[in-house]
Amino acid sequence: MSDADRLHELLGLPAVDFRRETDGTALPPADSAAWRISVDPFDPDEGGVSWEEEFKAFLETVDPSGVQALIIGQWGECYEETSAYPIGLVIAAARRLTSLRAVFVGDLVVEEAEISWIEQSDVTALLTAFPDLTHLGVRGGTGLAFPPVEHESLRGLVIESGGLPAEALRGILGSELPALERLELWLGVSAYGGDVVVPDLAPLLTGTRFPRLRHLGLCNSELQNEIAAAVASAPVVAQLRSLDLSNGTLGDEGAAALLEGQPLTHLTSLDLHHHFLTVAMERRTAEALEPHGVSVNLSDRCEPWDDRGPEGRYTAVAE
C-alpha cells in the first residue's frame, strides 16, 4: 500500500496530522478533524519521540473532549510492538475523550510497514472502553484478536488485511452488534495468515446475524470466485444496498455465478475492481445491471502472472 492509501478521512472528517511543532500554524478545532497521531522511530528530526509522548502532547494541545475521530498511525517499530501499546494509551484517556466516535488502528503505508508486518492485538478493548463508538477500522491481520463482544452503537467495522485469521472472523460473527450497517473484511491469502474458508462466512450470509447491515465487503481474497458463488444465493444480499467483492481473484466463473444467482438489481453499487474478467464478461455484467441503476465498478482488469491462468491470479494486497 502506497502513501496514496493513507487514510484521508474518518467519520466524514478530513485527516489531519498532529504535530507538536506547528510553525505557528493554527490547529483546526478539535471536532473538525480526524486526528492522526504518528511517530517515525527512524526520523532523526523527531528526536526519538515516542507515541506516548506525542499522544500526551496531543491531549494537552487539542481539547480532548471535542475529539470525534482518532487515527492511530505508526506507533514505533510496528512489526515488533503490537497495537496494544497505543490502544492502551487511548483507553487510559477515555474519560477525557468523551466525544470519540471513530477510531482507526494502524494507518501505515508500505514505506512504514507492509500490511502483514503490522502487529495487531485485541482491538475489542476499544469497543469496551468506548460504548458510544460508531466506527472502528483496523489495518493489519497479524496478531489480530476480536473475541465476541456486545456493543450497541457500532455502525461501521472495517478490517483491512493481507490475511484475516479465521478466529478473528468467528469473533466478529459471534458478536452482538445490533446497529452494524457497514462491514468490510479484507480476507487476504493463506500465505499471510488468511485461513478463512467459505463455510466460515455462513453465519454472516444468512442475513440474521446483523439485521441492519446495508453494505457488505468481502474483499481481497484468493477465494473470490467461491465467495461470489456463495453470495449469489445468500439471503443477506436482499437487505444490502451495496456489495464489494473487489481486490481479489474474481474471474468469469465468479461473475457468472453472481449473474445467475438471485437478482442484484436492487443494489445501488457493485464493486468488482481489480478482477480477472474477460472483456466479454465485463460487458455482460455491466449490461445486466447498469440499466437497472446499479453502479458497477469494473476498473483495473488484471492479467495472471506468467500466463498461468487461474493459478496466476493474485489479490491486490498480500504482504
pLDDT band at residue 188 under the 50/70/90 scheme: very high
Amino acid at 1: M
pLDDT in tens, 276-297: 999 999 999 999 999 999 999 9
Average pLDDT over residues 71-78: 93
Tell me the average pLDDT of the chain.
94
| Residue 163 DSSP one-character state | B
pLDDT in tens, 147-187: 999 999 999 999 999 999 999 999 999 999 999 999 999 99
Q: Which residues pair with 15 in a beta bridge?
A: 34
pLDDT band at residue 79 under the 50/70/90 scheme: confident
Give the separation between CA 260 and CA 232, rounded to whole angstroms.
Answer: 8
pLDDT at 3 over 70: no
Q: How many residues does the chain have?
A: 319
pLDDT band at residue 31 under the 50/70/90 scheme: very high
Angle, to 10 degrees, between the axis of helix 51-61 and the axis of helix 84-92? 30
Contact in structure between 287 and 311 (CB atoms under 8 Å): no
Average pLDDT over residues 212-216: 98
pLDDT for the residue numbered 24: 47
The b/e string for 268-278 (b: 16+ C-beta within 10 A; e otherwise) is ebbbbbbbbbe
Contact in structure between 258 and 264 (CB atoms under 8 Å): yes
pLDDT for the residue numbered 310: 78
Nearest residue to 73 via CA among 165, 22, 7: 7
Give the separation between CA 183 and CA 244, rounded to whole angstroms.
Answer: 10
| Percent of all residues in the chain with a pLDDT value above 70, rounded to a whole number | 95
Average pLDDT over residues 203-224: 97
Give the separation between CA 305 and CA 307, rounded to whole angstroms.
Answer: 6
pLDDT band at residue 1 under the 50/70/90 scheme: low
Contact in structure between 278 and 304 (CB atoms under 8 Å): no
Give the separation between CA 213 and CA 46, rounded to whole angstroms.
Answer: 43
Q: What is the pTM of this model?
A: 0.95
